[in-house]
Amino acid sequence: MTESDFQKAVIELAHRNGWLVYHAVPAQVRPGVWRTTYAGDRGFPDLMMVHPTRGGLFVELKTERGRLTPEQETWLSTLNQVGFEAYCWRPAMLDLIAQRLGGAW
């Protein structure tokens, strides 16, 4: 499963279970060159999700073989240290992801 397909599946599952989801989308700035504009530190998680009764999550999505960058690791560990739920999710975890988001996969 590609990261893009995985992301679509997670967002669909989240929406089916009442979560609001935010994801910054890259834009093509010239042929073949894509950028995601942002202000701040590199490595911010792919998704921010909130639910009125299930809380909030920060999630970095990776394929089974994908690796976190040092900046992504810093964001996830710092978010967890200050009390947020922050994860790196992979396609093999879909059953656990569905449980956390409150619905069957």
Q: What is the pLDDT of residue 82?
A: 98
Beta strands, E only, the chain: 20-22, 27-30, 33-35, 47-51, 55-61, 85-89
Q: What mean pLDDT is reported for the chain?
A: 92
pLDDT at 96 over 70: yes
Amino acid found at 50: V
Q: Which domains does the chain have, with CATH numbers?
A: 3-26+40-101 (3.40.1350.10)
pLDDT digits 0-9 by tens, 58-86: 999 999 999 999 999 999 999 999 999 99
Q: What is the pLDDT of residue 35?
A: 73
pLDDT at 105 over 90: no
pLDDT at 104 over 70: no
pLDDT at 21 over 70: yes
